[in-house]
Amino acid sequence: MNKVILLGRLTRDPEVRYSAGPDSMAIARYTLAVDRRNRDSENQSADFINCIAFRQKAEFAEKYLRQGTKIVIVGRIQTGSYTNREGRKIYTTDVVIDEQEFAESKSHNQQESSQNNEQPCPYPQVSGDGFVNIPDNLDEDLPFM
């Protein structure tokens, strides 16, 4: 079984591209900073995991995810390789995303953003019961089916 579950923050805004051809497909790439569990709290470190999302998941990432957003992803490890311009073989490891969810509320993120003088992330408002409030005029624009 090849299944990965990660909790972390985006290191930068997702990079989204669209494939060429008649059936154009969105492809989003982003890096997730995932804290390592250490007994020594003074020497905390993180792993930086490359993630890739396709189609609706990529469109969701483009629309709602921003640098610093805390998310949970579920996916699978995919390895690959290519030869660079200097003729060296480069090996890659990515997490191909099956699911992605916000790990904290918008209000929590806005509090942190205001403390850092940053713009808040534009994802939907989470109500007190844990559900997302979706405005009435967004029915056609939802990133899932």
Question: What's the CATH number where 81 sits?
Answer: 2.40.50.140
Q: What mean pLDDT is predicted for residues 71-98?
A: 96
DSSP states along 61-114 = HHHH--TT-EEEEEEEEEEEEEE-TTS-EEEEEEEEEEEEEESS-HHHHHHHHH
27 CA to centre of own chain: 12
Percent of the chain with pLDDT over 70: 71
Answer yes or no: is 54 within a domain. yes
Confidence of residue 32 (pLDDT cuts 50, 70, 90): very high
Answer yes or no: is 32 within a domain. yes
Q: What mean pLDDT is predicted for residues 14-38?
A: 92
Answer yes or no: is 52 within a domain. yes
The segment with the largest mean pLDDT, out of 55-64, 104-113, 114-123, is 55-64
Answer yes or no: is 8 within a domain. yes
Answer yes or no: is 129 within a domain. no
The contacts found for 11-14 with CB under 8 angstroms, 24 or more apart, are: 11/48, 11/67, 12/67, 13/65, 13/66, 13/67, 14/53, 14/58, 14/61, 14/62, 14/65
Tokens at 50, concatenated: 């490359």
Domain that holds residue 12: 4-103
Give the integer Cα–Cα distance in Å for 122 and 133: 13
Looking at every residue in the chain, the average pLDDT score rounds to 82
Pick from 34-43, 67-76, 102-111, 117-126: least confident: 117-126
Answer yes or no: is 27 within a domain. yes
pTM, two decimals, is 0.69
- Domain count for the chain, please give it: 1
Q: What mean pLDDT is predicted for residues 98-109?
A: 81
145 pLDDT above the threshold of 50: no
Give the integer Cα–Cα distance in Å for 123 and 62: 11
Give the integer Cα–Cα distance in Å for 98 and 124: 21
pLDDT computed for residue 14 by the predictor: 96
45 pLDDT above the threshold of 80: yes
Cβ-based neighbour number of residue 127 at 10 Å: 10
41 pLDDT above the threshold of 60: yes
Answer yes or no: is 90 within a domain. yes
